[in-house]
Chains A and B, each alone.
Chain A
């Protein structure tokens, strides 16, 4: 019966059915997603927990707390009444970090800081909506200067002119330095500092995922464009005439399951060099889909994943 049913569905259809049924059963039964800590098959499953927390041994905790105390002062965060430190395994990002959470005397959470296995500050946030404070910074240039000073003080090792954006509703400023390696952008990676309107720190993020080795030889842009044209034709079939390539460029990307239900739910934690092809829609297709990105392995042209803009 199963064989008769599954055979005509094809492998992808069958995998989709099985995955959806398992996910549905887990949700229906109230089971946590993923698998038990330490399980060799431990991986993130959509709808399940993304992180696991464990206590740190006292001597390691002391080192992390010392680092947190130092960076807290540089970040201008208030002194806590109590702190807690956890080793966090992040199944979604594939990272492990130590997280220091600070609370006030009433037990309210004030801020948190994250440190990677090299002791670098990789995340911090000051909780609460704090748009009102001192005199607001006058313009983007002032925000850029303030962010750049902070980045240097925190040792974020940024370079180049950052992207500066004013947030809505007096939310302050976002100053971002996208990561670039040998002239090639690393999608999603980089440093970001969020400032309140008066220049106080709201949040800091440093994302720097490991990179796979470069392929020994690369497809040239013309070959990549042709491969992308073929792939889009295959994906969109009779509607391929309503989508056109808008940009082609090399980038370091996290392989993902965008078009492959059998692949892991979380993006890959090691980045691969790819031709990143963005195609824009028109006509009826644009009613529900604005654009699509496909990631083609820079060496082989194989589809590594992609993205969708609805």
Chain B
């Protein structure tokens, strides 16, 4: 291996360490959010080129959660492992992941929604199953969960339940608590997920709930067949934490 290639391989992990260290910065609130993005499988670490989408989506999600008042840290590369996800999830009010997702067969013989860790691996990454997240969280409330993967927005997904988000669509005049789950149907290209999420984060502003931001995010150009889905409370603001006393919906 040439020195140039070896150092090029170091570029992305170094950049991620720098990013994570800076992003860790001063916390705005006590409500933790974790943002994970799988960068390694399609980077200089494994092939001859870097896919830029995962890094951009990590940056956008960290900014998005922080704007909503979450104490947010982004992870990728060797720092984004199955063990890391399961260790942090009990304290997460917000969780975002961009990775390979599917309904995977578990050792118990059943299929569960899940996604692949990064762990700095080119192949052989382990699956994080919804079953494991549910066991770690033991029904603890969450706020905003985004599965930026293929398939995990489908009606068969078991992921919302792992975060105690009911699989209902509570629209105007209804309420499922201060929570919202976002995922995609079928196989979704990175460019579509990036465009959708860019518009979603951008639309979250005073007067717009997460459901409205979801609807605004759909007003864009996408590949044929791209589709996103949601569960939770349409009118919720997306702000971190439980609702303040006396506040029922806080639109």
Contacts and interface: CB of A to CB of B under 8 A. Distances in A.
Contact of B4 (A8, A47, A48, A114): A8
A24 B224 contact: no
Interface string A30-59: 100100000000001011111100000000
Contact of B172 (A17, A93, A107, A127): A127
A303 B204 CA distance: 35
Contacts of B223: 187-188, 307
Contacts of A12: 8, 11, 50
Nearest to A176: B224
B139 interface: no
Contacts of B51: 258-259, 308
A168 B185 CA distance: 9
A239 B50 CA distance: 15
Nearest to B7: A8
A127 B38 CA distance: 33
Interface stretch (A60-68, A69-77, A221-229, A286-294): A286-294
B60 A46 contact: yes
A16 B25 contact: no
Interface in B78-100: 98-100
B136 interface: no
Interface string A1-31: 0000000111011101101110111011110
B7 A50 contact: no
Interface residues of A, number: 84
By secondary structure, the A interface counts as: mixed
Nearest to B121: A288
Contact of B187 (A13, A259, A290): A290
A309 interface: yes
A16 B100 contact: no
Contacts of A28: 22-25
A167 interface: yes
Interface in B1-50: 3-4, 7-8, 10-12, 14-16, 18-25, 38, 41-42, 44, 46-50
Interface of A: 8-10, 12-14, 16-17, 19-21, 23-25, 27-30, 33, 44, 46-51, 92-93, 107-109, 112, 114, 123, 125, 127-131, 163, 165, 167-169, 171, 174, 176, 178, 187-189, 194, 202-203, 205, 207, 209, 234-237, 239, 254, 256-261, 265, 267, 284-285, 287-291, 293, 307-310
9 contacts: A9-B4, A16-B15, A21-B18, A24-B21, A27-B62, A109-B207, A168-B185, A257-B52, A265-B56
